[in-house]
Amino acid sequence: MQDLKLSKRDEWEAMGFDLNNCPVRSVLDHVGAKWTVLILFELQNGAQRFNALGRALPDISKRMLTQTLRDLERDGMVKRQVFDTKPPSVAYSLTDMGQSLMTPLLGLVGWAEAQMPAVQTARKAYDEQAARL
């Protein structure tokens, strides 16, 4: 859908707005990522080590745990500390910024829990409607 001459995209660009470098999207990408929110909630209980997190989130693979933590670390939400024990241990904890994300996140989670029954109802109605065709 890029066949227009004078588009909203031009408007956006004129405003210096770039979809591929959008602050909102770059946060939402994390929040929407399958494991981010679960990890963040787990870390609210205090610093946790790598394998401890893995145990707390049983369905996560090591690969995704590593990757999600790296992403969060890169964005300054999570702090990674290596301790020179044998074997070495690594602790992850929320930074202040990571903490501050929890507030709006809890708003969203609260909404989700409150609306869930309505969503279930809507889905059922939609699916039954679709099945009749």
Partner DNA sequence: GGTATAGGTCTCATATAGAGACCGAATTTG
Partner DNA sequence: CAAATTCGGTCTCTATATGAGACCTATACC
Residue with Cβ nearer its own copies (38 or 91): 38
47 binds, among DNA, its own copies, none (CB under 5 to 8 A by kind): none
9 touches its own copies by CB under 8 A:
yes
Query: Looking at 49, 54, 89, 99, which residue binds its own copies (CB under 8 A)?
Result: 54
Tell how far CA 84 is from the center of its chain.
30
- Of 96-115, binders to its own copies (CB under 8 A) are 97, 100-101, 103-105, 107-113, 115
Query: Looking at 51, 115, 120, 121, which residue binds DNA (CB under 7 A)?
Result: 51
90 touches DNA by CB under 7 A:
yes
Using CB under 7 A as the criterion, which residues of the chain lie in contact with DNA when the complex forms? 2, 33-35, 49-52, 59-64, 66-67, 80, 86-91
